[in-house]
Amino acid sequence: MIWIEGQQSKSVADFGTWTNPLHTFPLNSINLLSLYLLPTPSSWLASLRCLLCRYFISRWLELCRLRKTTLMPMERRVQAMLLNFVLASFVFLILIRDGNAGITSSFIRSEWPAVDIPLDHEAFAVPKGYNAPQQVHITQGDYDGKAVIISWVTPDEPGPSHVQYGTSENKFQTSAEGTVANYTFYEYKSGYIHHCLIEGLEYKTKYYYRIGSGDSSRQFWFETPPKVDPDAAYKFGIIGDLGQTFNSLSTLEHYVQSGAETVLYVGDLSYADRYQYNDVGLRWDTWGRFIERSTAYYPWIWSAGNHEIDYMPYMGEVVPFKNYLHRFTTPFLASHSSSPLWYAVRRASAHIIVLSSYSPFVKYTPQYMWLQEELKRVDREKTPWLIVLMHVPLYNSNGAHYMEGESMRSVFESWLIQYKVDVIFAGHVHAYERSYRISNVDYNITGGNRYPIPDKSAPVYITVGDGGNQEGLAAKFLDPQPEYSAFREASYGHSTLEIKNRTHAIYHWNRNDDGKKVPTDSFVLRNQYWGSNRRRRKLKHFLLTVMDEVVNM
Amino acid sequence: MIWIEGQQSKSVADFGTWTNPLHTFPLNSINLLSLYLLPTPSSWLASLRCLLCRYFISRWLELCRLRKTTLMPMERRVQAMLLNFVLASFVFLILIRDGNAGITSSFIRSEWPAVDIPLDHEAFAVPKGYNAPQQVHITQGDYDGKAVIISWVTPDEPGPSHVQYGTSENKFQTSAEGTVANYTFYEYKSGYIHHCLIEGLEYKTKYYYRIGSGDSSRQFWFETPPKVDPDAAYKFGIIGDLGQTFNSLSTLEHYVQSGAETVLYVGDLSYADRYQYNDVGLRWDTWGRFIERSTAYYPWIWSAGNHEIDYMPYMGEVVPFKNYLHRFTTPFLASHSSSPLWYAVRRASAHIIVLSSYSPFVKYTPQYMWLQEELKRVDREKTPWLIVLMHVPLYNSNGAHYMEGESMRSVFESWLIQYKVDVIFAGHVHAYERSYRISNVDYNITGGNRYPIPDKSAPVYITVGDGGNQEGLAAKFLDPQPEYSAFREASYGHSTLEIKNRTHAIYHWNRNDDGKKVPTDSFVLRNQYWGSNRRRRKLKHFLLTVMDEVVNM
């Protein structure tokens, strides 16, 4: 058993990373001490296994000597049998995969060409009729999920900005008035972009809505979320860096099949900035039509990435987020934010905070000041699930964009731990990766600490920048896999987070797998607030009391 | 000699920081190796001293033995005398202060009260006459120093926006037309703010200018810098975090006496955001009048700090830099920047880059993209001195704002080294600090490196956030002083950088010292580009060739 001595060999490489030289030390107080000092769970477990193995081997050798030299009494035989059983179990246990070991998936994807879908493809089909509304997308319109913002574009003239809606198909009892505006980008002139806020909706209700006028009008529907409640079950989809290639189409179709009710979008939408001059605006339009199959029915919670900046001095366009902000709105005022780029919404049992990687975020900036206040407003008794979205991952072990999240990590990480964020979704890196619960807040330049360490109060960091845009996959991971990285694979895909109640949620990452949706990385996420024993006991006590009262009524 | 063994005692503490355990190692190959491996110059020197000391002591003891046992021949006596002389010199040398050791100044300041000057104080005097121009300040108006922007405020009505100017006193042959605007901040209504660009000026020329109309007009003067040239001598003053207290007044008066020709201002101007509602605008006005004694005559190169953000949601003011941007202009378009908050100017032999700590700066943001291009435009053959201004220091060992610069350091530090920036001036921390040439780019989370290390290509980092504002001094430094910190003192003051030629500049930090200007930290700054032997030799060769040609003419 080579691995006991801490040697790295092909046969044991699957059990984790074996970088710590303490493994080769003799079994003495230093080795015992190392159990407590080693930086990560996998190292800790490895040391424990190492110690146990040494113990059992020495006991076994002793028994072998006994067998050879004497006839054993009955008790000794029973002891020997028991020991053999324990030893066998132990060998079995060390042969199965260590749940804490970091995994770099060996899946090799036969990649589809990462080129954008041609303009005349049906995925970008323009709806029939003069001035027919297109690029329809909806998002949450308030803090708690009783409002929706409906956005669309009319290509030929402004037309009406109102939305007719109601709870029965083809019966639109109510209407709301929106706004319309257009803009230019270089010489491109946008269509007429409408945004209409519908407020005062009922929770968990299906609404039908109609936009446009006359023969060109179009109808869609959406469902409001359940009331904000700690045990409200809800299923989110998570997509990032989608773009408009055939891989993007595959991701989008798989997501539509997933049964998720709302998308948490982690930035980089159209990749229109890969084009020049008037084609930029044009490719924003095609993307709007491309996503409509989902966004007209399911709210997408937006966050912005670098491909939304559209800083193009060569064509005189230097106002950041110009295309994005004209087209995509967010309910930022409802969470007292001063910018559509950072905000928060509460939906079912989740409090979702959207951060902007490309806006100022250091201490004293508006985003920093806002987040400080917003985190205080989070009430885990009402919304147990605290989810943060951003574009640039704070932890990433891919060669692409490595350490780009350091800038924001150094500012916000201590808060994410203090407020026990459950999970952080990011995009940016065109691959999938999931971290352990770790933190690097002890690194302070002068103190000597240098590695991220296990931290049960820290969030799980998940990178889902694998929507499938034209830049292709980021397949070069750091080698060896850092101790903080739990699972990583360079494939296209999307994730779902199915919240069951206040304590548990089921998470899946679904690899596209060349056209088929394949669940790959799955785990049960325990809530960071309600997961604690004390709170669970309190909850159990409360439920038992209520049941007693019901029984005795 | 306790210090030789690396023990820390009161008597040797002045010689530097002695944290490296290698000092206690025996004199063997490890100790020799440590000379090259130890992280800072002070450790390196300490090890060298340690080795030399051991050598001389052993030689001396040997000689003592010789004296006791034999009569020495003449040569041996001469040798002994020489050795004694060398030993005495060595003892003397180790007793004088090690120039590379980090110093925390023991100067204790009897602090003046850090309160703002009362509104009715003469420091804020309103100039006489109806609608008389006030808050006059000038800044460079182009990339190379042949233009000036003149700004002022008329309190009662817009009045004329033109500037009359000329090279003789009271003779204003030329005039230029400016712009005027005003704004509101809460219910405060600003005066009429004028900005006027004067272009096409002669280098190194004194200009007189007149603003306002009739009896209320006012006259000032300024001097243009010498032509952009690698050996153009020039004296800059550096001020930060000034505010409007009596300490600020002291700093300002000392600066005026310094003979510096232009101020490099490292952010945090008026501290008006320490007030509420209408008093914010009012205190921006008083600051404008306060600094006029210098800014009407000498250009101040502006950079913005956190006290310019003025993000005040409680009074409905959330647009960042609203007061600052209305009042202070910069020639940002001349350096192809898209924002007045980051830009560059060339002045005499210096290329000055102004960064914005509170604007987006991570990869892909406009500031990042601009800096990438601007650094390529730097031509050290024309402007040998590359100076960067920012508000938040990238290296700081004060308890106040510790590690706030990490966010920007992780993004820009490698460029600062690649382009061999000479010196970086920052403010923010209300104390003075100077670093060695060090870098922390090797820290990459997973690699194991954790400390900043000496790096001869790195800039010197200087924090001059000690202008004297109402927040008072930041007197709690990290203890022990980190190896990267060269000198630090919690006093008010300002700096000057006197560029002599392409290779050398003289730097001073001047402590206010309760009303008297006391030069405290001074050193000769060698140019990072022309300081290299190869380039100096090339220059010498060129100059000799020119001299030969002149002689032979």
**Do the Cβ atoms of B362 and A364 come within 8 Å?**
no
Please indicate whether residue A447 or residue A500 has the higher confidence score (pLDDT).
A500
Of B311, B318, B363, the CB nearest to A404: B363
Contact criterion met (CB < 8 Å) for A450 and B443 = yes
Percent of chain A with pLDDT over 70: 81
Asked if B362 and A358 come within 8 Å (Cβ–Cβ), the reply is yes
| Interface touch A360/B363, C-beta < 8 Å | no
Which of B445, B461, B478, B483 is the best substitution to test chain A (most A C-beta atoms within 10 A)? B445
Look up the pTM and report it.
0.83
Q: Residues A311-344: pLDDT tens digits?
A: 999 999 999 999 999 999 999 999 999 999 999 9
The three-state secondary structure class of A235 is strand
Set of chain A residues whose Cβ sits within 8 Å of the Cβ of B318: 338, 366
Instruction: Give the pLDDT mean for A202-230.
Output: 97
Cβ-defined contact of B482 to A445 (cutoff 8 Å) = yes
Question: Which chain A positions have a beta carbon within 8 Å of B408's beta carbon?
Answer: 362, 407
Residue A538 tokens, joined: 């309190």
A361 has a pLDDT exceeding 60: yes
Q: What is the pLDDT of residue B325?
A: 98
Strands (E) in A360-467, as ranges, are: 385-389, 423-426, 432-435, 438-439, 453-454, 460-464
| Closest residue on chain A to B410 (Cα) | A407
Residue A34 has a pLDDT of 32
- Per-domain boundaries in chain B: 26-100, 232-534
Where does the pLDDT of residue A538 fall: very low under 50, low under 70, confident under 90, or very high at 90 and above? confident
Q: Is the pLDDT of residue A182 over 60?
A: yes
In the structure, what pLDDT confidence band is assigned to residue A541 with cuts at 50, 70 and 90?
confident
Handedness of CA A124, A125, A129, A133 (dihedral sign): negative
- The whole-angstrom separation of Cα A467 and Cα A448 is 39
Q: How far is residue B226's CA from residue B201's CA, in Å, rounded to a whole number? A: 11
Q: Which residues contact A36 (CB under 8 A, 6 or more apart)?
A: none
Determine the pLDDT at residue A55.
63
* The pLDDT value given to residue A384: 97
Report the pLDDT value the prediction gives residue A425, as an integer from 0 to 100. 98
Partners of residue B407 in chain A, C-beta under 8 Å = 361-362, 406-408, 410-411
More confident residue, A462 or B22: A462
Spell out a b/e string for B205-219, using b for 16 or more CB atoms within 10 Å of the CB, else e: eebbbbbbbeebebe
Residues 6 or more apart from B344 whose CB is under 8 A from it? B143, B335, B337, B351, B352, B353, B354, B374, B377
Interface contact flag, B369 A451, Cβ < 8 Å: no
B21 DSSP assignment: G
Q: Residues in chain B whose beta carbon is closer than 8 A to a beta carbon of chain A?
A: 306, 309, 311, 313, 318-320, 336, 338, 357-366, 369, 392, 397, 402-404, 406-408, 410-411, 440, 443-446, 448-452, 478, 482
3-state helix, strand, coil in chain B (%, to 5): 30, 25, 45
* Structural fold of domain B232-534: Purple Acid Phosphatase; chain A, domain 2 (3.60.21)
Name every chain B residue with its beta carbon within 8 A of the beta carbon of A364.
306, 309, 311, 358
Is A551 a residue whose pLDDT tops 90?
no
Partnered with residue B219 across adjacent β-strands are B210
> Which residues of chain A are within 8 Å of residue B358 when distances are taken between CB atoms?
360, 362, 364-365
From the list B421, B401, B385, the residue with the least C-alpha distance to B463 is B401
Spell out the alpha helix ranges (H) of B70-121.
74-95
**In this predicted model, which residue has the larger pLDDT, B75 or A203?**
A203
Q: How far apart are CA B43 and CA B54, in angstroms?
A: 17
- Comparing C-alpha atoms, which of B413, B455, B440, B447 is closest to residue A450? B447
Tell if the CB–CB gap between B306 and A364 is shorter than 8 Å: yes
Nearest CA in chain B to A395: B445
Nearest CA of chain B to the CA of A508: how many Å?
28
List, for residues A109-164, the tens digit of each pLDDT value: 666 678 999 999 999 999 999 999 999 999 999 999 999 999 999 999 999 999 99
From the candidates A121, A162, A326, A401, which is the catalytic residue?
Answer: A401
Residues of A with a Cβ under 8 Å from any B Cβ are: 306, 309, 311, 313, 318-320, 336, 338, 357-366, 369, 392, 397, 402-404, 406-408, 410-411, 440, 443-446, 448-452, 478, 482
Strand, helix or coil for residue B28: coil
The answer on pLDDT for A173 being more than 60 is: yes
For residue B34, give how far its alpha carbon lies from the nearest alpha carbon of chain A (Å).
Answer: 19
* Closest residue of chain B to A479, computed from CA coordinates: B446
The predicted complex's ipTM stands at: 0.83
Residue B98: name the closest of B8, B13, B203 by CA.
Answer: B13
- Number of Cβ pairs closer than 8 Å across A and B? 113
HSE at residue B62, side-chain half, CA atoms within 13 A, is 10
Closest chain B C-alpha to A307 CA, distance in angstroms: 9
**What is chain A's mean pLDDT, rounded?**
86
Q: What's the sign of the alpha-carbon dihedral A228, A232, A235, A238? A: positive
Facing residue for B407 by CB, picked from A319, A362, A402: A362
A506: three-class secondary structure by DSSP:
strand
Higher per-residue confidence, A43 vs A352: A352
What does the alpha-carbon distance between residue B366 and residue B523 come to, in Å, rounded to a whole number? 36
The low-confidence residues of chain B, meaning pLDDT below 70, are 1-73, 85-101, 108-112, 514-517, 533-534, 537, 553
| Neighboring chain A residues of B444 at a CB cutoff of 8 Å | 402-403
Among the listed residues A308, A486, A309, the one whose alpha carbon sits nearest the alpha carbon of residue A395: A486
Q: What are phi and psi of B366, to 5 degrees?
A: -55, -45
pLDDT for A7 beyond 50: no
Set of chain B residues whose Cβ sits within 8 Å of the Cβ of A482: 445-446
Q: How confident is the model at residue A64 (pLDDT cuts 50, 70, 90)?
A: low
Q: How far is A244 from chain B (nearest CA, A)?
A: 21
- High-pLDDT (> 90) share of chain A, %: 71
